[in-house]
């Protein structure tokens, strides 16, 4: 494994946790009033595109990172809609 | 430019807008009560790492995307702290 790969895997490991604090906060507060739904919709669109890019570049770092991010963004959209009226 | 590059540039163009709806929403509502500060701190850490990865891979798509994302995340942290008590 070259050094770029190592940095990539560390970046990936940090990136997959990006949406987690928001998911936990929303889950605890049962409210996502100030959270933008559009942010997570855009996130899903770009994650699909990055997965395609990763596949074309044969870059597993990009593929795996964006699969996890897509799951997190989907969960956040679910929570946002669930607590729509909160 | 190969097709992977084209997909990468489209992905990049969409990605840079990810945080924008949240920035606009927070700016309008003057409140970010339900928004996680930690999410944007993690975002900045991972964007620094992705820029390093992009430099090592000589991948301008990754470098430019993450520079813009880092600026957006910084702006969001500023807004979150500015409307701390809102």
Would you say the C-alpha torsion A56, A61, A64, A67 has a positive or negative sign? negative
CB-based contact B18 A49, cutoff 8 Å: no
CA-based nearest distance B55→chain A, Å: 9
pLDDT at position B2 is 87
Determine contact, residues B65/B15, Cβ cutoff 8 Å: yes
Question: What's the CA gap between A3 and A26, in Å, rounded?
Answer: 37
Per-residue model confidence as pLDDT tens digits over A16-51 = 999 999 999 999 999 999 999 999 999 999 999 999
Determine contact, residues B48/B29, Cβ cutoff 8 Å: no
Q: Per-domain residue ranges for chain B?
A: 3-82
Nearest by CB to residue A49, choosing from B10, B37, B42, is B10
Determine contact, residues A83/A27, Cβ cutoff 8 Å: no
DSSP state of A68: H
Per-residue model confidence as pLDDT tens digits over A58-73 = 988 889 989 999 999 9
Fold for domain B3-82?
A: Monooxygenase (1.20.1280)
CB-based contact A56 B18, cutoff 8 Å: no
């Amino acid at each position: 494994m070259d050094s770029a790969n190592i940095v990539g895997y560390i970046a990936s490991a940090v990136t997959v946790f990006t949406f987690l604090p928001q998911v936990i906060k929303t889950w605890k507060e049962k409210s996502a009033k100030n959270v933008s739904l559009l942010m997570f919709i855009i996130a899903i669109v770009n994650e699909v595109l990055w997965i395609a890019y990763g596949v074309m570049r044969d870059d597993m770092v990009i593929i795996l990172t964006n699969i996890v991010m897509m799951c997190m963004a989907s969960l956040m959209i679910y929570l946002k809609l669930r607590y729509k009226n909160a």
